[in-house]
Amino acid sequence: MLGNEIMNFFEMIADAQIKNAYILGLIAILLTIVIGLGIQHIYLQTDTSADNPKDWDVVKLEDYVSEKFGGTDTIIILIELDKDLFYSNSPTDIRDKDVLNTVYDLSKELEKEDKISSVQSAGMLFETIGGIPENNDSIISIINAFPEAKAFFNKNNSATAIFVSAQLGNEADKINFSKRLTEIINSIKKPSGLKITSSGTPEIQILLGDLIRHDLVVTSGIAAGIIFLLVILFKRNLKDAILIFTPLIFGLVWMLGIMGWLGIPLSIATVGVSAMILGLGTEYGIFLVERYEEEKKKGFKVDKALRQSLPAIGIGITGSGLTTTAGFVALLFTTLPMIQNLGKILSLGILCILIATILVTPIFIVIDERITEFLKEKARGMQ
Amino acid sequence: MKIVNNYSRFLAHHPWTILLVGLLLTGLFIYGATLVQMESIDYSKAIPSNYKEIKAFNFIKDEFGTTGSALTFVIRLDEENGESEINDIRDVKVLNYINLISEKSKKISGISSVSSLSTLLKSDNAGILPKSNEKIVELINNAKVINPQTIDVVNSLNQTSGGINQINTSLNQTTGGLTQISQGVDASSKGVAQISVVLEKISSALGQEQDFSSINQLVLLTTQLDSLIDASVNPLDPNYTNMKRSVAIIKAGLEQTYMGLEESSAGLKTTSNILDQSSTALDKISTGLNQANDGTKQIIQYNEKMSLGLMNINQGLNGISQYISFTSAEYTPGKKTIINQYPGYLSTDYSTTIIRLNLDSMSKTEEIELVNELDQILNETVVPNGITSGYTGSIKLSEEMQNSIGPTMTSTSIISIALILIIVSILFFSLRKGIISLFAIIFGTIWTFGIMGLTGSPINSIMSGALSMIMGIGIDFGIQIVNRFNQEKLKNNTEEAMINTIKNTWSQMLITTLAALIGFRAMSMGEITIIADLGNMMGLGVLSCYLIAMTIIPAILVLNDKITLENIRKIVHQDKSDNTTNVKQKNKKVKLKK
């Protein structure tokens, strides 16, 4: 009885799609555009500590220590002798007065920034004892006399570091700060033969964000391209391949858009989820198109073929989609936030592709058949 | 395809063979599954190291002496314990506890340094742990302030330099004196040695045995002369008496001389012995003087080195003094420098203190051992009433992550199987068919773990959810096969239904498997490769489920169809009717016989 109810439901959907193909197609496209706007709001989770379970004692303790002892962002600016940029008047020892003046100037400029709470460098240390001497030998004598100064230089005196503590906030703030830092570094007068690089947790998190965006596009693109080729080889027909690929495109855009609107973050653990969804969702389109063509081969017209194929395959792919979703939903019950997010995104993705297969693909099958029929009639008419 | 046709026919008619091979392989993979290792994720390898930010970070870590790895013990007031006497972390009982933990931790291999409130207080209190709360508070509140305005640095440096010069001059004078002493001692030693040699020679000479035989002979001669006088001279001769007297006197004198010589000879021997002893003593004195000379020379060397060291200190101080003079003919003192490290170890509300453990680079095995040892320290050290303690850090977190993999897999798998079973049972309106389709994922996961175990591929925390995902994906294959078989059974017998099922589903399922594999493989094509292992495991799982769906599931379906209850009833009914026929025939025969 339930089976008949479900069959009737799918038949009803097929009827609606046959009768209102063009309008429903337009609605589907507009809906996809609206949902797709959410993609720009996708939040990138670049702080790997956020993937730690908050109810674990070790994590609670870590957060407690940060709260009590002040968690800050640490940026390290590395100034090193660069052999590639070496000229005759370039310093050969980092403990050079011109280098230290650069360090000092950079440190003072950084101190002026609001978000920076402290700057520690060799230049600032010399400030406490009156300034940087003009004579390099005096500089070396003073550094040797003060053990605290040696912490700012590496073992072979080819590099020095500026340690900056700041409270930077979210990713947007970090990106803005990174740009500001680059501006400051570029504005400081420095001798030739020096290379200045900034690093530290914020810089690495910004890099991670860029890589996540890059990988999302690359992995999805590679997966989509190879799967599309595979489907073309399987079907030996470009039109069928496009029809099979249609629910994947719609489903993927819906998934990413909903993630953006709901604030579900993308992280290093979930960056490849698009590629996974493309791989897993391909079968729904294949089963539907194959079954439709089987019915067409029996001599049925478009509407009859669709009314036969959608209910017959609909139950199967719905069951398949639900079981796959069940496997992913089970991940929501883990203690690890990154696995929970993986489960959320994968469940959402599979459901989106399933819905797109059942609701959108038949619409485009009907539209395609009508356009083909129209062109055939026009060609006959011309003949 | 011909090969598929042949295979499907073979399976339909020989399901036991396929099932047996499948079960044997499953047995092998069960063994392989027992070899699977768990490991934690290394986030440091999440981003490739060729990016300038990562290169700079690694350079700083290596060149500026930071290992980047640390653990933090956290000791805090137990707010839930209302009866505790400790309401400020700056308590001597807490301090003793911190000191105990710090000292025990220092002994653990892999810990490069330990810094805590106790180490700071000891350094400010001449190496002794304060014994009272008041002393602790006093030391913490006494921040060290270096204020150049209160110190006349140049004069101080000059005075120090002058003092060092004076010490150096004294050392030089001492060195000169010691050199003279050394020379004197050397000469004395040589002189004493010479005296010793002379005495030895004298002793040798004196010790020689004296030969008094000539005197004895003279005495004999006098005796003989006396006898001769008696023999040759008339006793009445007036010279007889004089001659006798003279001879007697000579003889007496010779005898006394002999006696005297014997006595002096003994005396000389004694003297010789004494001189021998003196010579020996002088040798020892000479040796002692040589040693004293050596010692003096060493002192001279030490003095020279000390002098050199003082000269270097002096040069450094002169350098600083010159610099300060350079920078200020009008001397402008710099900022006041306050050195207070306590805020790094003591929270502002005095409720919490920390112990920092800096770590050497170590392997995963060593990290696990370290965590175990720290846990032991924490468990065996009695915590004062009113405080709680624990520790945190990347290594501890990593260990917890690793320990969570197994339970995570178990819980997600159970939930996944339960949900899937419910869905497929509703789908097929049959629990039995639902269970058969479930075999795809049960065998599929065994094969997946088995292959991973046999190939030595470990499982990390990101992969802990893979099992559940494989189940969700792999069940499709079971559903497709069971569903299609049910549809074919409506038109055909068991064998034909299975042949058609395989022929009509193998290519579609293969395409979907390939598409899934492509999707999983594409996950490792980006710059972030931390999820590549997850993709590999998923791909292996999907492939295994496909193979199960093409082998074991069809075999079970065929056998299930043949060995249904209906068939059993039919067989039993057939047997009964055979027996009834036999009994009737027997009775008929009996009747006939009768």
A341 inside domain: yes
CA Rg value for chain B:
55
Cβ <8 Å between B56 and A56: no
Select the residue of B390, B423, B508 nearest A326 (Cβ to Cβ).
B423
Tell which CATH architecture fits domain B2-45+430-569: Up-down Bundle (1.20)
* Cα A47 to Cα A267: distance, rounded to the nearest angstrom: 9
Q: What is the CATH number of the domain that holds A109?
A: 3.30.70
Extract the tokens encoding B35. 């070899």
Indicate if A182 and A259 belong to the same structural domain: no
Sign of CA pseudo-dihedral B210, B216, B217, B218: positive
Extract the tokens encoding B299. 């002192």
Q: How far is A167 from chain B (nearest CA, A)?
A: 17
Provide mean pLDDT across the span A88-108. 87
Cβ(A275)–Cβ(B522) below 8 Å:
yes
Cβ <8 Å between B46 and A208: yes
Indicate if A318 and A258 belong to the same structural domain: yes
Q: Where are the domains of chain B?
A: 2-45+430-569, 70-143+342-360+362-399, 156-327
* Cα A101 to Cα A226: distance, rounded to the nearest angstrom: 56
Indicate if A185 and A248 belong to the same structural domain: no
Tens-level pLDDT at each residue, chain B (594 residues): 788 888 989 998 899 999 999 999 999 999 998 998 877 666 666 677 788 788 887 787 777 755 456 788 899 988 776 666 788 888 899 999 999 999 999 888 888 888 888 988 888 788 888 888 888 888 888 755 555 454 556 666 666 777 777 777 777 777 777 787 778 778 777 777 777 787 777 777 776 666 667 777 888 888 888 888 888 888 888 888 888 888 888 888 888 888 887 777 777 778 778 788 887 888 888 788 888 888 888 887 777 778 777 777 776 776 676 666 555 544 444 444 455 667 778 888 888 999 988 877 777 788 888 888 999 999 999 988 889 999 988 888 888 877 887 788 888 888 888 888 888 887 777 777 778 888 888 999 999 999 999 998 888 877 878 888 888 888 888 888 888 888 888 888 888 999 989 988 888 888 889 888 988 888 878 887 777 888 889 899 999 999 999 999 999 999 888 776 566 666 666 655 555 555 555 555 555 544
Q: Which residues of chain A does B320 touch, with a Cβ-Cβ cutoff of 8 Å?
A: 141-142, 145
Mean pLDDT of chain A: 86
Cβ <8 Å between B46 and A134: no
* Cα B437 to Cα B420: distance, rounded to the nearest angstrom: 10
Indicate if A250 and A368 belong to the same structural domain: yes
A141 inside domain: yes
Indicate if A370 and A338 belong to the same structural domain: yes
Q: How far is A145 from chain B (nearest CA, A)?
A: 7
Q: What is the CATH number of the domain that holds A364?
A: 1.20.1640.10
Extract the tokens encoding A209. 């964000």
Cβ <8 Å between A290 and B508: yes
Q: Which helix (H) or strand (E) holds B312?
A: helix B238-327
Suggest the residue from A7, A58, A108, A234 to mutate for an interface test with chain B (most B CBs closer than 10 A): A58
Model pLDDT for residues B361-407, shown as the tens digit of each residue: 777 788 888 888 999 999 999 988 889 999 988 888 888 877 887 78
Give the type of residue at B219. Answer: V
Indicate if A180 and A286 belong to the same structural domain: no
pLDDT value at residue B41: 66
Q: Which residues of chain B does A131 touch, with a Cβ-Cβ cutoff of 8 Å?
A: 327, 334
* Cα B199 to Cα B522: distance, rounded to the nearest angstrom: 104
Q: Which residues of chain B does A213 touch, with a Cβ-Cβ cutoff of 8 Å?
A: none
pLDDT value at residue B594: 45
Q: How far is A360 from chain B (nearest CA, A)?
A: 20
Q: Which helix (H) or strand (E) holds B353?
A: strand B352-359
Suggest the residue from A323, A333, A336 to mutate for an interface test with chain B (most B CBs closer than 10 A): A323
Indicate if A13 and A122 belong to the same structural domain: no
ipTM: 0.79
Cβ <8 Å between B72 and A65: yes
Which of B278-286's residues contact partners 24+ apart within 8 Å by CB, and which partners? B278/B196, B278/B199, B279/B196, B279/B197, B279/B199, B279/B200, B279/B203, B282/B192, B282/B193, B282/B195, B282/B196, B282/B199, B283/B193, B283/B196, B285/B192, B286/B189, B286/B190, B286/B192, B286/B193, B286/B196
pLDDT value at residue B153: 61
Q: How far is A343 from chain B (nearest CA, A)?
A: 8
Residues with Cβ < 8 Å from B59, sequence gap 6 or more?
A78, A80, A159
* Beta strands at B144-146 and A159-166: parallel, antiparallel or unpaired: unpaired
Q: How far is B290 from chain A (nearest CA, A)?
A: 43
Cβ(B139)–Cβ(B124) below 8 Å:
yes
For residue B329, the 8-state DSSP code is S
Q: What is the largest distance, in Å, between two alpha-carbon atoms of chain B?
A: 201
Indicate if A274 and A355 belong to the same structural domain: yes
Q: Which helix (H) or strand (E) holds B463?
A: none
Cβ(A338)–Cβ(B462) below 8 Å:
yes
pLDDT value at residue B156: 64
* Cα B560 to Cα B567: distance, rounded to the nearest angstrom: 10
Model pLDDT for residues A116-154, shown as the tens digit of each residue: 878 888 888 777 667 788 888 888 887 877 666 777 888
Indicate if A146 and A270 belong to the same structural domain: no
* Cα B414 to Cα B411: distance, rounded to the nearest angstrom: 5
Model pLDDT for residues A211-223, shown as the tens digit of each residue: 888 888 898 999 9
pLDDT value at residue B332: 45
* Cα A304 to Cα A300: distance, rounded to the nearest angstrom: 6
SS (H, E, C) B379-416: HHCCCCCCEEEEEEEHHHHHHHHHHHHHHHHHHHHHHH
Cβ <8 Å between B59 and A159: yes
Q: Which residues of chain A does B516 touch, with a Cβ-Cβ cutoff of 8 Å?
A: 279-280, 282
- Total domain count, chain A: 2
A224 inside domain: no
Q: Which residues of chain B does A63 touch, with a Cβ-Cβ cutoff of 8 Å?
A: none
Cβ <8 Å between B515 and A211: no
Indicate if A368 and A259 belong to the same structural domain: yes
Model pLDDT for residues A325-352, shown as the tens digit of each residue: 988 888 888 888 888 888 999 999 999 9
Range of the domain at A175: 73-166+168-205
Phi, psi of B286 (to 5 degrees): -60, -45
Cβ <8 Å between B526 and A215: yes
Cβ <8 Å between B512 and A282: yes
A13 inside domain: yes
Phi, psi of A118 (to 5 degrees): -155, 150
For residue B462, the 8-state DSSP code is G
* Beta strands at B144-146 and B352-359: parallel, antiparallel or unpaired: unpaired
Query: Could you tell me the pLDDT band of residue A361, with boundaries at 50, 70 and 90?
Result: very high
For residue A273, CA distances in Å to A278, A350, B41, B521, B590 come to 9, 11, 19, 11, 82
Model pLDDT for residues A248-267, shown as the tens digit of each residue: 999 999 999 999 999 988 88
Indicate if A94 and A185 belong to the same structural domain: yes
A215 inside domain: no
Q: Which helix (H) or strand (E) holds B199?
A: helix B153-206
Q: Note the CATH number of domain B70-143+342-360+362-399.
A: 3.30.70.1440
Give the type of residue at B344. Answer: G
* Cα A238 to Cα A248: distance, rounded to the nearest angstrom: 16
User: Count of A–B CB contacts within 8 Å?
Assistant: 286
Provide mean pLDDT across the span A73-77. 82
The CATH superfamily assigned to B156-327 is Methyl-accepting chemotaxis protein (1.10.287.950)
Residues with Cβ < 8 Å from B184, sequence gap 6 or more?
none
Indicate if A41 and A106 belong to the same structural domain: no
SS (H, E, C) chain A: CHHHHHHHHHHHHHHHHHHCHHHHHHHHHHHHHHHHHHHHHCCECCCHHHHCCCCCHHHHHHHHHHHHHCCCEEEEEEEEECHHHCCCCCCCCCCCHHHHHHHHHHHHHHHCCCCEEEEECHHHHHHHCCCCCCCHHHHHHHHHHCHHHHCCECCCCCEEEEEEEECCCCHHHHHHHHHHHHHHHHHCCCCCCEEEEEEEHHHHHHHHHHHHHHHHHHHHHHHHHHHHHHHHHHHCCHHHHHHHHHHHHHHHHHHHHHHHHHCCCECCCCCCHHHHHHHHHHHHHHHHHHHHHHHHHCCCCHHHHHHHHHHHHHHHHHHHHHHHHHHHHHHHHCCCHHHHHHHHHHHHHHHHHHHHHHHCHHHHHHHHHHHHHHHHHHHHHHC
Cβ(A292)–Cβ(A303) below 8 Å:
no
A231 inside domain: no
Q: Which residues of chain B does A155 touch, with a Cβ-Cβ cutoff of 8 Å?
A: 63
Cβ <8 Å between A161 and B320: no
